[in-house]
Amino acid sequence: MKIKKKIPWLVFFWVMLFIIIFMVVNSFRQKSQELELEYSQFKQCIRNGNISKVLVGSECIKGYFRDSNGILRKFKTIPMNDPNLVKDMEDGKVFEFSATTKNDWISPILFNWGPMILLILFWLWVIRGMGGGNKRAVSFGKTKAKLAGKNSVAKKITFKDVAGCGEAKEELKEIIEFLKSPAKFKKLGGKIPKGVLLFGLPGTGKTLLAKAVAGEADVPFFSSSGSEFVEMFVGVGASRVRDLFEQGKKSAPCLLFVDEIDAVGRHRFAGIGGGHDEREQTLNQLLVEMDGFDTKEGVILIAATNRPDVLDPALLRPGRFDRQVVVPSPDIKDREEILAVHSKQIKLSGDINLNIIARRTPGFVGADLANLVNEAALLAARNNQEVVNMENIEEAIERVVAGPQRKSCLMSAKERRITAHHEAGHALVAKFVPNTDPVHKVSIIPRGSGLGYTLQLPEEDKHLNSKAELLDKIAIYMGGRVAEELVFSGAEITTGAREDIFRATNIARKMVTEFGMSDKVGAMSLKRPEEEVFLGRDISRDIRYSGKISELVDEEVKSIMDTAKSRASKIIKDNMKILNKIVDYLLERENLSGEDIDKILKGEELVSLPEDNSLIDVKDKKENTVEKEVTSEQVLENKI
């Protein structure tokens, strides 16, 4: 391949600039060190014998003299028509004097013409960039969209690589079919949407769907991000939007994809003073372009975001983004299909059932499932296994849900007992309340930011929650704190229930202010609107209910919390023997499955395991043997 030789204009420009700056700085430094004398003072110093060296020039006389303190210093003075200067220097015993002619022509040119030279070089660089050799200087207004499709060398992603999202794929297939055979739609007088907006939770596969459209359409596909339009230079974003649509019209039929469009599509006139900043100019240009081009040209815009609530209403009106496609979280069937796609390259053992894994991962989106399969493969490789087994999958699920194990976290015997009672309280209440998900696992092994966890997995996907289910969930959250209060003294309760109390209070407040599940407050929506936090809008936000209603809301929330705590307390008090048994097994095994909890409730004994408390060091064992008391100042700081 022939490489075009490039003239280093930019290097030459910076070298010249450095030379000029160096000479200017050096000149000022020398001038600051020279003392400027009057000619009469210079002659007086000669007569006094204070001059040691003189260099006579046509425009300046320089040399060295001794001041009143005897220090040798530089001086300069303006020469005059003095024919006796040489004789006076000989009489003044100045033995080193000479004359010079001015031959320095570079300095005047650099000082006088340097700025002009730099300006000329800069414009040569700009003009050269406009000529096509190096377009960096004029490429600010060009779009940074990447072209894919017909000429793409990367592996094409098709709808076969996208599992789930059935409705979303059907909507996009219609767009692809229009690009391939527009006559089918035009003969009935129909118009294809100008824009399609994909929105859903993070990780649901919006960008993957757009890439699949590129692979299926077999047309040029320009992909870019919303943040690529916003720059520090005014007008650059609008210029890039214009360039993107111009490139699309030249390559029609084609697809334009903008990921994270909320970076440029947020509400206008919402900042301080409703400023018209660069981002709003970019949005205005996008609105104009979407309103100005015709779908007959075969250019369709696809955008993706997980924040449709912050988009400007003008962007969502018919005629711009005519069609809005929801990319939902996958259900059980979709999760099984997604797992099958991501496990194609993974060696799985025969005991793995993808349907079981799909049932144990409710709420997981596509990105979570991809991470789950990858974590399982890494765990198997770490253990030098040939295939990935179900044990690796189970550990990977726990790593995704609760975080990795913190094997370096050494808990004292007191902390382990408190953690065991806390988690046993959660599990016991979860087993005795009717409207709750089955307990899958209870552990006192530190994971993530917690010292233990109780994992509940639903048997099916839920889209609605009843009042009874929410009340039972709050009671389960309070079970850990209640177990600590009943077993240990009041001063020994810990900060471990912090997150439980926060989540329970949040559910209770939503029941009162959003779900209309309070008899005293009634079916009133007291939730503040979820708006983007802008300074002016946030300050002017009105309080939507009176102080009396606010007090009533607080009373109802407290009543729900107190009732849930009483329920949990009664369950644990009535089953204290079972609680202690669960605690003993947790201290022995560190992990209990849902089946183990069921056996303990039935009064069955679990098979004893060899003692291997790897998390307890020698010091902790001594403390446990002597039964050393722990003071209230040693209350836990960690989340349990």
Q: Say if CB 290 and CB 301 are below 8 A apart.
A: yes
Q: Pull the structure tokens for residue 20.
A: 């000029």
Q: Say if CB 310 and CB 266 are below 8 A apart.
A: yes
Residue with tokens 């007959």: 296
Vertex 41, ends 40 and 47: CA angle to 5°?
A: 90
Q: By CB neighbour count within 10 A (0-12 exposed, 13-18 middle, 19+ buried), where does 62 fall?
A: middle
- Active-site residue among 336, 415, 423, 590? 423
CA–CA separation, 166 and 328 (whole Å)? 10
CA–CA separation, 13 and 16 (whole Å)? 5
Task: Please report which helix (H) or strand (E) contains residue 16, including its range.
Answer: helix 9-33
Distance (Å) of CA 455 to CA 195, 224, 480: 43, 40, 13
State the amino acid at position 249 in one-letter form.
Answer: K
423 part of the active site: yes
Handedness of CA 375, 379, 382, 388 (dihedral sign): negative
Q: Say if CB 506 and CB 513 are below 8 A apart.
A: no
Residue with tokens 């040209």: 297
Task: Please report which helix (H) or strand (E) contains residue 324, including its range.
Answer: strand 323-326
Q: Say if CB 338 and CB 208 are below 8 A apart.
A: no
User: Which among 299, 236, 241, 295 has a CA at the least distance from the CA of 265?
Assistant: 241
Greatest Cα pair distance, the chain, in angstroms, is 126
Chain CA centroid to CA 229, Å: 18
Distance (Å) of CA 508 to CA 462, 505, 514, 546: 19, 5, 10, 20
DSSP 302: E
Q: Which residues are catalytic?
A: 423
